[in-house]
C-alpha cells in the first residue's frame, strides 16, 4: 500500500532513496508464469520489451535433435537467442554445435511479442490457466488476486476469519473462503479436480508443500508453491508440484542492480540464484573499456558470458558479429558464473559509478 503514494518517500517525505517491495516482485513472478503456461521461468527486461524464459523441450518440437546453428532461420534473425541449455541439471556449452534433445531446459531471450509464437512452435504453450485457487490470504495473495480476477476465476482460502473479511472487502469477483488449505474435504468441495492452478503462498513453507502436493494428488492441473527457505526446494521431487517461487531470489535481483559497479537497469537471478541475467547500459565515458563504437566480435567478454538481447531506442534489434554498440544501448547478458560479473562491470561502468 505504501507504493501507491510515491511522495511518501524522497526529499519531501521519508528520506529513503530506494524502495523495494518483495511482495510485488513475487506476485509479478507468479503472474508471468500464469500468463505463459508451460514456461519454467520468466523475467522481463527493458521495461518488458524483452523476455528471458525457459522451457522443457518436448519430443517432436522443432528444437528436438537440432543444433543451435541450424535454428537461425526460425529464431527471427538474431532477435531470439538461446543463452543456456541444461541437461539433467548440468549446464552445456551454448555454441552453434550444441545439440538440443528432449527434456533439456533451454533459456531464450526474445522480444515480448515473439514469445507466445515461439512457445507454440516448440509445442510448449499449454492451455490457459483460468480456474485458480490461491492458498493463503496475505499481501502476495491479495495482489495476485487483484491482478487476475478480471480475466480468471479466482478463489482464496485463508484460515484467519478477520483476514478473510478484510481481503473480501478489498477484492471484486474473487471468492474468499475461510478454512484450512490443507483440508482435503474443503479442496474436494471446491472442485480441486477441475482447477487449472493451485497456488500455495502462505507464510509457512511446510503448509505450502503439503497443500500443493495434496491439490495435485486430487487432480489440480498445475501447482505452484512459494518457498522462503531455498533448501526446501530439494523436497519437491515426487510431490507433483510443478514450480517453486523463491522470494529471496526474486528480491535479491532488485537489490543487486543498485550495488553493481556499472550502469544496471535490471538483474534477474535464475536456477536458485546460481545464474544471473544483467541488463547493462553502454557508455562511451568508460574510456578504453567501453563497448561503444565497437563491433560485437571485438568486445572480449570472457567465455561464459552470453549476449542475449540488444535494445536501442526502445526496440530490440538483431545481434550479429558486426553489430556496433552505441551510446545508451541496453545490453542484456547471461552468465552461469558469478565470478565473471566484474568483467561486465568493467565494460559497462558509467562515470557516475567509476571507482577512484
Which CATH architecture is the domain 251-353 placed in?
A: 2-Layer Sandwich (3.30)
**Separation between Cα atoms, residue 205 and residue 95, nearest integer Å:** 39
What number of other Cβ atoms are within 10 A of residue 244's Cβ? 22
Which CATH architecture is the domain 131-245 placed in?
A: 3-Layer(aba) Sandwich (3.40)
Q: Which residues contact 94 (CB under 8 A, 6 or more apart)?
A: 68, 82, 83, 84, 85, 306
**Separation between Cα atoms, residue 57 and residue 38, nearest integer Å:** 10
Task: Domain 24-122: give its CATH superfamily.
Answer: Regulator of K+ conductance, C-terminal domain (3.30.70.1450)
Regions in the chain scoring below 70 on pLDDT: 1-12, 15-19, 73-74, 76-78, 286-287, 350-356
**Separation between Cα atoms, residue 191 and residue 204, nearest integer Å:** 24
**Separation between Cα atoms, residue 213 and residue 237, nearest integer Å:** 10
Write out the three cell numbers for 140.
502476495
CATH 3.30.70.1450 residue ranges of the chain are 24-122, 251-353
- Give the tens place of pLDDT for each residue, 304-316: 899 999 999 999 9
**Separation between Cα atoms, residue 298 and residue 283, nearest integer Å:** 16
What pLDDT score does 77 carry? Answer: 62
Helix (H) or strand (E) holding 316: strand 315-317
Find out whether 194 and 131 touch, Cβ atoms under 8 Å. Answer: yes
What number of other Cβ atoms are within 10 A of residue 108's Cβ? 23
Amino acid at each position: 500500500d505504501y507504493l501507491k503514494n510515491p511522495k511518501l518517500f524522497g526529499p519531501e517525505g521519508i528520506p529513503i532513496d530506494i524502495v523495494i517491495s518483495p511482495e510485488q516482485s513475487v506476485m509479478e513472478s507468479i503472474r508471468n508464469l500464469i500468463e505463459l503456461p508451460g514456461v519454467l521461468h520468466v523475467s522481463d527486461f527493458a521495461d518488458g520489451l524483452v523476455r528471458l524464459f525457459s522451457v522443457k523441450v518436448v519430443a517432436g518440437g522443432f528444437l528436438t535433435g537440432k543444433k543451435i546453428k541450424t535454428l537461425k532461420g526460425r529464431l527471427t534473425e538474431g532477435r531470439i537467442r538461446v543463452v543456456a541449455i541444461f541437461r539433467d541439471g548440468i549446464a552445456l556449452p551454448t555454441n552453434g554445435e550444441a545439440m538440443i534433445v528432449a527434456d533439456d531446459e533451454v533459456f531464450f531471450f526474445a522480444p515480448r511479442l515473439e514469445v507466445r509464437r515461439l512457445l507454440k512452435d516448440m509445442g510448449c504453450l499449454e492451455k490457459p490457466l483460468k480456474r485458480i485457487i490461491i492458498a493463503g490470504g496475505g499481501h502476495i495473495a491479495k495482489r495476485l488476486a487483484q491482478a487476475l480476477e478480471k480475466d480468471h476465476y479466482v478463489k482464496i482460502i485463508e484460515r484467519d476469519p478477520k483476514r478473510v473479511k478484510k481481503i473480501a472487502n478489498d477484492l471484486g469477483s474473487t471468492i474468499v473462503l475461510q478454512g484450512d488449505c490443507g483440508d482435503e474435504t474443503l479442496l474436494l468441495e471446491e472442485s480441486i479436480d477441475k482447477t487449472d492452478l493451485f497456488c500455495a503462498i502462505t507464510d509457512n513453507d511446510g503448509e505450502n508443500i503439503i497443500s500443493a502436493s495434496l491439490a495435485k494428488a486430487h487432480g489440480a492441473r498445475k501447482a505452484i508453491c512459494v518457498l522462503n527457505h531455498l533448501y526446501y526446494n530439494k523436497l519437491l521431487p515426487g510431490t507433483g508440484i510443478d514450480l517453486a517461487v523463491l522470494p529471496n531470489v526474486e528480491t535479491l535481483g532488485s537489490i543487486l542492480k543498485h550495488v553493481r559497479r556499472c550502469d544496471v537497469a535490471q538483474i534477474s537471478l535464475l536456477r536458485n540464484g546460481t545464474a544471473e541475467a544483467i541488463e547493462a547500459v553502454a557508455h562511451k565515458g568508460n574510456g578504453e573499456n567501453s563497448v561503444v563504437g565497437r563491433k560485437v566480435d571485438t568486445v572480449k567478454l570472457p567465455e561464459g558470458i552470453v549476449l542475449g538481447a540488444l535494445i536501442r531506442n526502445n526496440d530490440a534489434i538483431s545481434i550479429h558479429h558486426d553489430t556496433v554498440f552505441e551510446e545508451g544501448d541496453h545490453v542484456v547478458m547471461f552468465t552461469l558464473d558469478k565470478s565473471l560479473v566484474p568483467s561486465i562491470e568493467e565494460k559497462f561502468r558509467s562515470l557516475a559509478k567509476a571507482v577512484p
